[in-house]
Amino acid sequence: MKTLLAAQYLSLELITFAVYFSALLGVAVLSYKKQQSDTDFLIGNRSLNFWLTALSAHASDMSSWLFLGYPALIYGSGVFSAWAAIGLTLFMFLNWQFVAPKLRTITEQSNSLTLSSYFETRFGDTTGSLRLISGFMSILFFLFYISSGLVGLGLLVETLFNLHYTAGISIGLLVVITYVFMGGYRTIAWIDLFQGFFLLAVIVLIPLLLLRQIGGMGPVMAEISAKQLSTTFFPDYTPKTFIHIFLTMASFGLGYFGQPHIITKFMGIRRVSDMHKAKYLGISWQAIALAAATFIGLIGIYIFPRGLDNPEQLTLELVKQTLPPFFAGLVLCAVLAATTNVMAAQILVVASNLSEDFYKRLFRKHASPEELLWVSRCSVILISLVAFMVAFFKLSTIYQLVLFSFSGLGSAFGPLILLSLYVENIHKYAAFAGILIGGLTAAAWPYFNELYQWNIPSLVPGFFLSALSIIILSAVCRKPIEA
């Protein structure tokens, strides 16, 4: 009887997943013929309203990390780690405020579809070196970023359906490739809008249902205190604590200024005057989603006081053991939504790098829009297959993969984007050095952190060394040479 019931529950979850995937595929099919050029495919012809822009930007940010990686962080340490969520929300607000409007205006004036082409035009680089180094850094870090999403999907399918990990990453890749290949930027934006509201509803519903079952936050806080984990945002008021708070906030939020898959969402809005509406809508969505994920992590401490073999499966185990089986199907779709949103945006950015920054720049400078459209679509398949191989070998956890990639992109591009918008006399060689130094510092820093036990997040030194190198080298390169 139990076996039959379990089979019925599994069938219900699979049906939920199948219906959801069919809806995504339907949107992609409807928009397939609307893609007439690489501009349509890569940036939606700059025609998105503020609803699409806001939800697309934020849904493209919160991957399976929102359901799996971040709750695991809270589960392992308590309330204090929620400073990561505060940092993310604060710096994303600053991104909307100081980067989004100016970048949208300037990239339209220069007809730039990618950050690489924007850098090339902004700094007057005719050699192609800026475009190539930025394209290379983008592809390098996005490979690991996309892989983190596939790892999340593998864990999801493995935990909920007892299928092999490889089946999970294969299913996830099939979903994303299908609707990115067929639809492009505009399709991803519409799917992001739908999935953004859906995953917000699910992630808010999980802690609400759990708190009702266990009788509120009282038992939860008692268990957190009993395990000697953090129960407050300020354990004490020493300088060491405030430095820790700053590093926690900066190690996540500071990277927002250099995330191409988010930055390109700003470039696609129809009117710059609507940017403030998108800002407040998007920030509200992010604050609610991260607050709910924080509660999931805290509740997990109470429900699983003895720990879990893999803390990143906390949300999935909570759903399996405490909520109705049908809800597992909804959580599957929500994690799928959170993961595919980010993967789709990232794959599209890498496809634009391969088509615009490498193919067009190195091989076919006068390629037609139709030819570049098909190169972009083929690039989607290529980068997806390479990311699949990285995920297949399961080199690291979701949290570590996301942090490595987020730090690398933020360090390589964030300082240059900010300085390019607000400082006039930046030299192209300084811009090149800033990308290279920032990216390499972020990539190598974890090794030194482990060797010397510095415990400084790689994004912080990577970002500031990149900014410093841009400022110093710009001054040196523009200084007149004395006879």
pLDDT for res 10: 58
Structural contact between residues 277 and 57, judged by C-beta atoms closer than 8 angstroms: no
Mean pLDDT of 180-209: 77
What are 131-177's pLDDT values in tens digits?
Answer: 889 888 888 888 888 888 788 777 777 766 677 888 878 877 777 77
Confirm whether 473 is domain-assigned: no
pLDDT for res 5: 47
Q: Highest-confidence range of 40-49, 116-125, 253-262, 296-305, by mean pLDDT?
A: 296-305
Mean pLDDT of 72-94: 93
What gap in Å lies between CA 354 and CA 368, rounded to an integer? 16
Q: What is the largest CA-CA distance in the chain?
A: 93
User: Is 120 exposed, middle or buried (CB count within 10 Å of its CB: 0-12, 13-18, 19+)?
Assistant: buried
Count the domains in the chain. Answer: 1
Is the pLDDT score of 283 beyond 90? Answer: yes
Mean pLDDT of 40-44: 51
Structural contact between residues 272 and 110, judged by C-beta atoms closer than 8 angstroms: no
pLDDT for res 1: 46
pLDDT for res 126: 84
What gap in Å lies between CA 235 and CA 229, rounded to an integer? 10
What are 372-388's pLDDT values in tens digits?
Answer: 777 777 777 888 788 88
Confirm whether 170 is domain-assigned: yes
Confirm whether 458 is domain-assigned: no
Is the pLDDT score of 430 beyond 90? Answer: yes
Mean pLDDT of 204-232: 90
Q: Which residues pair with 269 in a beta bridge?
A: 48
Confirm whether 273 is domain-assigned: yes
Residue numbers of the domain that contains 342: 2-398
Supply the DSSP symbol for 164: -
Confirm whether 456 is domain-assigned: no
Confirm whether 107 is domain-assigned: yes
Confirm whether 139 is domain-assigned: yes
pLDDT for res 183: 57
CATH number at residue 48: 1.20.1730.10
Mean pLDDT (the chain, rounded): 81
Confirm whether 43 is domain-assigned: yes
Is the pLDDT score of 458 beyond 50? Answer: yes
